[in-house]
Amino acid sequence: MNYIEPHGHMVSRTTADYERMALAGCVAISEPAFWAGFDRDSVKGFYDYFRQLTEYEPARAKKFGIAHFCWICINPKEGDDPGFAREVIEIIPDFLKKPNVLGVGEIGLNKNTKNELIILEAQIDLAVKHNQLILVHTPHLEDKRKGTRIIMDALLNHGGVEPDRVLIDHVEEHTVAEVLDKGFWAGMTLYPETKCTTQRAADIIEMYGTERLWMNSACDWGISDPLAVPKARMELKRRGHSEAAIKRLTYDNPHTFLSQSPNFNLPG
């Protein structure tokens, strides 16, 4: 069964991972811009990274029959330096015109700071002005609930954001209801140590339904698993969920959300 990996940091993965994902049924990947594990020293560092996302990764994915899409932004961690972040934001509009770009993301908060919020608000405005989808990163530990609430306030206070064009990622049991109730899409990140396990993701689906919800592996440079989505499908199957429900979560839902961008076209 085909699936979409809607949040995978492929710049951190080997080519063998692309092959394994293709063998497991992955037909498309959407890759948000994120923190590379170190703070970049110049705007040029971001320029090179955005080229990697818009030129090199699509070519690498294509060899395995996987369509590669991406999101452009300055991540919340490096957004904590507003002067530098504004310089990076200046080069983003040119990249939003690239054919595999789906929107602005993953923007959000990392340590719930005022500086991060300034840059989050600037990038929400950038997305609205350029009619782009938004992909949101939420903090990972004790700061998640607070951060998720501040982010949702910023999105709704802007006035120009349509919640069904925004996906708020890394939800867990204490944030999923608020995100869905406000009309946003929600993403569950299957991550072995923090975030959500496949069993808990299946539990959340059972309690909150399959509407406006997706699952992703993140598969970044941390301890993570590029096959987490197919493993979550196995978990749902083991519990007796229907093929239709599993397809809805791992193919139809990401397809529906991402198709709001005119750039999201899958061959066939």
Q: Which residues bind another protein (CB under 8 A)?
A: 77, 80, 110-117, 139-146, 150, 172-174, 177, 199-200, 203, 206-209, 238-241
CB of 207 to another protein, least distance (A): 5
CB 108 within 8 A of CB 68: no
Kindly tell me which of 208 and 257 has the beta carbon lying closer to another protein.
Answer: 208
DSSP state of 211: T
CB 139 within 8 A of CB 112: yes
177 binds, options Zn ion, another protein, none, Cβ within 5 to 8 A by partner type: another protein
Determine the distance from the C-alpha atom of residue 223 to the mean position of all C-alpha atoms in its chain, rounded to a whole number.
17
Kindly tell me which of 216 and 246 has the beta carbon lying closer to Zn ion.
Answer: 216
34 binds, options another protein, Zn ion, none, Cβ within 5 to 8 A by partner type: Zn ion
262 binds, options another protein, Zn ion, none, Cβ within 5 to 8 A by partner type: none
Q: Of 21-50, which residues contact Zn ion (CB under 5 A)? A: 34
Residue type, 133: L
110 binds, options Zn ion, another protein, none, Cβ within 5 to 8 A by partner type: another protein
Residues 6 or more apart in contact with residue 175 via CB below 8 angstroms = 138, 144, 145, 148, 168
Cα distance between residue 188 and residue 216, in whole Å:
6
Kindly tell me which of 99 and 183 has the beta carbon lying closer to another protein.
Answer: 183
CB of 163 to another protein, least distance (A): 19
- Biggest CA pair distance of the chain: 52
Give the residue from 56, 60, 87 showing the smallest Cα distance to 74.
87
